């Protein structure tokens, strides 16, 4: 596991450097500087810590904006059962209720139901799909990459935030 995490840390460094160069070339110097200063991923994290970084606002933004990591890299983690931490990689069709924070990746098609008064976070990458049914006072914050799809039905006082 540690060798895999170290490998992905190297890939992250290369992706971060490419993103920094892209921002500088587009005149987004402040963002380029922030990317250059970021040392969030050390390479000595546990799987749980790595997934915690994925769910962080900076982690989600970087991953969905710069398509990092690749689906092939995500697939290396499938054997470690990341579902226990809310990360579903190539899981086919699944149904979940009241999933507070969830990351759908690759060949995963999720039917999600929310009714409880709570804040929920849903992230999608690498072509994942989700169908969300929100009711009551549920609030669902959704972020996705350009390859993923979300459809939703909102009832009562529920809210979907993009």
Domain boundary among 70, 89, 117: 70
| 105-158 confidence digits (pLDDT tens) | 999 999 999 999 998 999 999 999 999 999 999 999 999 999 999 999 999 999
| Residues 11 and 54 occupy one common structural domain | yes
pTM of the model: 0.93
The SS3 of residue 130 is strand
Domain boundary among 23, 45, 70: 70
Percentage of residues of the chain with pLDDT beyond 70? 100
Query: What total number of domains does the chain contain?
Result: 2
Same domain, 47 and 29: yes
CA distance 106 to 89: 6
Which range marks the domain in which residue 109 is found?
75-161
70, 92, 127: which is the final residue of a domain? Answer: 70
Domain identity same for 17 and 61: yes
The pLDDT, as a whole number, for residue 25 is 95
Q: How many CA atoms lie within 13 A of 60 on its CB side?
A: 17
User: Same domain for 92 and 150?
Assistant: yes
**Residue 96 sits in the same domain as residue 153:** yes
pLDDT tens, 47-58? Answer: 999 999 999 999
3-state secondary structure (DSSP) of residue 36:
helix
Residues 107 and 126 in one domain: yes
């Amino acid at each position: 596991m540690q060798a895999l995490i170290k490998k992905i840390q190297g890939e992250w460094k290369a992706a971060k450097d490419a993103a920094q160069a892209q921002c500088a070339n587009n005149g987004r110097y402040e963002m380029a500087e922030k990317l250059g200063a970021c040392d969030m991923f050390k390479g000595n994290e546990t799987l749980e810590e790595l997934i915690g970084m994925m769910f962080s606002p900076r982690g989600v933004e970087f991953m969905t904006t710069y398509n990092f990591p690749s689906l092939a890299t995500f697939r290396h983690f499938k054997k470690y059962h990341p579902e226990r931490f809310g990360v579903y990689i190539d899981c086919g069709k699944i149904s979940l209720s009241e999933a507070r924070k969830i990351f759908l990746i690759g060949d995963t098609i999720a039917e999600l139901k929310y009714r409880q008064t709570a804040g929920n976070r849903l992230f999608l990458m690498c072509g994942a799909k989700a169908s969300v049914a929100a009711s009551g006072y549920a609030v669902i914050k959704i972020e996705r990459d350009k390859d993923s799809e979300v459809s939703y039905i909102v009832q009562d006082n529920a809210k979907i935030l993009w």
